[in-house]
Amino acid sequence: SPFAVVNTIDYVTITTLGNATDFGDLTQARTGYGSAASSTRGVFGGGKIAPLAFANIQSTIDYIEIQSTGNAFDFGDLNDTIGRPSATSDSTRAVFAGGYNQLTAPLFNSVGDLQYITISTKGNAATFGNQFFGRYGMGAAASPTRAIYFGGGYESSPGTVTNVNLIDYVTIQTLGDAKDFGDLTEKSRMIASCANSTRGLRAAGRAPNRVNTIDYVTIASTGDAINFGELASILGLFPASL
Q: Which of 24-28, 45-49, 177-181 has the lowest mean pLDDT?
A: 45-49
pLDDT exceeds cutoff 80 at 19: yes
Q: Please give the model's pTM, rounded to 2 decimal places.
A: 0.93
Q: State the Cα–Cα distance between residues 69 and 21, nearest whole angstrom.
A: 10
pLDDT exceeds cutoff 90 at 54: no
Q: What is the mean pLDDT of residues 94-103?
A: 90
pLDDT exceeds cutoff 80 at 2: no
The amino acid occupying position 171 is T
**39 exposure class (CB count in 10 Å sphere: 0-12, 13-18, 19+):** exposed
Helix, strand, or coil here: 61? strand
* Residue with the larger pLDDT of the pair 53 and 110: 110
* Residue with the larger pLDDT of the pair 107 and 214: 214
pLDDT exceeds cutoff 60 at 239: no
* Residue with the larger pLDDT of the pair 105 and 33: 33
139-158 tens-digit pLDDT? 999 999 999 999 999 987 88
With contact defined as beta carbons under 8 Å apart, do 141 and 193 qualify? yes
Give the pLDDT score at 209: 87
> Is the link from the previous residue into 144 a cis peptide, with omega within 30 of 0?
no
pLDDT exceeds cutoff 90 at 232: no
Please name the helix (run of DSSP H) or strand (run of DSSP E) that holds residue 143, with its range, or none.
none
201-219 tens-digit pLDDT? 999 999 888 899 999 999 9
